[in-house]
């Protein structure tokens, strides 16, 4: 039985969800990595205690405390970069929990070498959800890392999806076994714990979401919402499909203060 090389997650609040996520692992894993995006020291002790857990199926649990919130895309990229030799990575929201057999089903699909991504659910419009997904190394190589201009969150998944519209890959967009997101299996009903835990943060994120929509339109054109984007980012014929930039001034406009 080959072990899963990496499962990674990022958390801003609610360390108990991460404990549940780790506890739900029922398949051998080499590395479970947690990026602490809290930036205020509120989760440090709890997460350090999680790193000391003796899970019979996980070889190593690592917690990385970020000095400030680097955003979802930044954390996802660090999961990949921190284990750059891995053949694939499983990236999960912190408030997810696997059901029995879910992980085994997920990795069974990569026996087909042409499968580049495996999504836990089909998500909106049947194009694959990003609250829990597996991504292979050759997809990162060909389609790039996640765009960190979508700081701190939202649209990083839509941006990634746009890259496959005109140059599709073989992907599994939903598994037969369910998984929990929050207290249930429906993201819209029981997910989004980060926002639910902090109303002020929730308002800020809603405002930032609007800015990220504007950036999506700039990068992929006005038809991105109907999944018909520019062929290349920014409609630039000299660009590359996986091109990402980092606009410091733009990201600073959306800083959360921690």
Residue 239 predicted with pLDDT over 80: yes
Cβ–Cβ under 8 Å, residues 150 and 73 = yes
Any long-range contacts for 227-230 (C-beta under 8 Å, 24+ apart)? 227/125, 227/127, 227/161, 227/162, 227/165, 228/165, 229/162, 229/165, 229/166
Measure the CA–CA gap between 52 and 24, rounded to whole angstroms: 16
Q: What is the pLDDT of residues 170-184, one digit of tens each?
A: 999 999 999 999 988
Coil vs helix vs strand at 187: helix
Q: What is the pLDDT of residues 27-84, one digit of tens each?
A: 999 999 999 999 999 999 999 999 999 999 999 999 999 999 999 999 999 999 999 9
Report the interhelical angle of 44-51 vs 15-23 (nearest 10°): 10
More reliable by pLDDT, 196 or 221? 221
Coil vs helix vs strand at 35: strand
The chain-wide mean pLDDT, for the chain, equals 93
Q: What is the pLDDT of residues 1-41, one digit of tens each?
A: 699 999 999 999 999 999 999 999 999 999 999 999 999 99
**Where do the domains of the chain lie, and which CATH numbers do they carry?**
4-253 (3.90.550.10)
């Amino acid at each position: 039985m080959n072990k899963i090389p990496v499962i990674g997650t990022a958390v801003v609040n609610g360390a108990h969800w991460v404990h549940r996520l780790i506890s739900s692992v029922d398949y051998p894993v080499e590395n479970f990595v947690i990026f602490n995006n809290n930036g205020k020291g509120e989760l440090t002790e709890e997460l350090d205690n999680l790193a000391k857990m003796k899970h019979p199926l996980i070889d190593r649990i690592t917690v990385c405390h970020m000095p400030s919130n680097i955003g979802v895309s930044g954390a996802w990229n660090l999961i990949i970069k921190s284990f750059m030799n891995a053949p694939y990575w499983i990236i999960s929201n912190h408030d997810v929990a696997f059901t029995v057999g879910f992980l085994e089903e997920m990795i069974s699909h990569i026996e087909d070498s042409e499968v580049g991504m495996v999504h836990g659910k089909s998500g909106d419009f049947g194009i694959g959800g990003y609250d829990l997904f597996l991504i292979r190394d050759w997809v990162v190589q060909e389609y790039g890392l996640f765009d960190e201009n979508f700081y701190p969150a939202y649209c990083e998944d839509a941006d990634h999806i746009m890259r496959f519209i005109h140059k599709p890959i073989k992907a599994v967009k939903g598994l037969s076994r369910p998984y929990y997101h929050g207290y249930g299996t429906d993201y819209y009903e029981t997910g989004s714990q980060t926002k639910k835990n902090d109303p002020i943060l929730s308002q800020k994120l809603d405002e930032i979401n609007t800015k990220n929509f504007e950036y999506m339109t700039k990068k992929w054109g006005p038809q991105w919402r109907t999944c018909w984007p520019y062929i290349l980012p920014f409609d630039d014929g000299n660009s590359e499909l996986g091109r990402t930039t980092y606009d410091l001034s733009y990201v600073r406009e959306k800083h959360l203060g921690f």
